[in-house]
Chains A and B, each alone.
Chain A
Amino acid sequence: NAGVTQTPKFQVLKTGQSMTLQCAQDMNHEYMSWYRQDPGMGLRLIHYSVGAGITDQGEVPNGYNVSRSTTEDFPLRLLSAAPSQTSVYFCATLLEPNSDGYTFGSGTRLTVV
């Protein structure tokens, strides 16, 4: 079992470029989410999904899109990158709330110049 796999690990983008951060899981977890982590801010929820075909916004959704066509994959799209989106991005999965907790990927460090 690979758990939660995020690609790429590092990325540098120019302002205005678009890209997709990939997240794949092999644990058959229904619940998946994307967080960004900035110094002194902890992790902030961008988007989440409670199952295939269902997505919803978190605390900081602006500038990001998601889709969930399969249980396994939950890509995060940056449509037009801005320097404010420089951050470390984590994908996390959960079997169900009140269960054993999130399993996190190892993160993608994104720099927008």
Chain B
Amino acid sequence: TQLLEQSPQFLSIQEGENLTVYCNSSSVFSSLQWYRQEPGEGPVLLVTVVTGGEVKKLKRLTFQFGDARKDSSLHITAAQPGDTGLYLCAGDRLYKFYFGSGTKLNVKP
């Protein structure tokens, strides 16, 4: 059983559409991170959220940490083919980082 559940597992959308990816847990985390991974490479950090209720924006990407620090969401506005990849959330509990199983996003031109 994964400590962090991500949904959806797969998402295939047209360029220009909006989407939201969810990362949920019953556990509290000190911080939560989002990564993007491309085939054959290691994950690359997108953002770290630390405070409950925190919202961070990175161009067309908006990240939110739940008030209780148990969940997070990633919203992409006007998706582009360059957004294609595997999106992973990871939560920090006392030096142990737990990853969700990922959301595979495909943005079609």
B residues near A (Cβ < 8 Å) are: 2, 4, 6, 9, 30-31, 33, 35, 40-45, 48, 50, 88, 90, 92, 95-102
Nearest B residue to A44 by beta-carbon distance?
A: B99
- Report if A35-B45 is in contact (Cβ < 8 Å); known contacts: A43-B88, A97-B30, A97-B92: no
* Inter-chain contact A58/B42, CB cutoff 8 Å: no
* Inter-chain contact A98/B50, CB cutoff 8 Å: yes
- Report which residue of A33, A90, A97, A103 has the largest number of chain B beta carbons within 10 angstroms of its beta carbon: A97
Bound Cα distance from A44 to B41, whole angstroms: 16
| A8-46 interface code vs B (CB 8 A; 1 in, 0 out) | 000000000000000000000001010100001111110
CB of B103 to closest CB in A, whole Å: 10
Bound Cα distance from A44 to B50, whole angstroms: 22
* Inter-chain contact A98/B92, CB cutoff 8 Å: yes
Task: Determine whether A92 belongs to the interface, using a CB cutoff of 8 Å to chain B.
Answer: yes
B35, B42, B98: the one contacting A105 at CB < 8 Å is B42
| A86-110 interface code vs B (CB 8 A; 1 in, 0 out) | 0000101000011111111111000
A residues near B (Cβ < 8 Å) are: 4, 31, 33, 35, 40-45, 48, 50, 56, 58-59, 90, 92, 97-107
Bound Cα distance from A50 to B96, whole angstroms: 10
Bound Cα distance from A4 to B43, whole angstroms: 12
Having A97-B92, A106-B41, A107-B42, one finds 11 other A-B pairs with CB under 8 Å, namely A33-B97, A42-B6, A42-B99, A42-B102, A43-B88, A59-B96, A97-B31, A98-B31, A98-B48, A100-B48, A101-B35
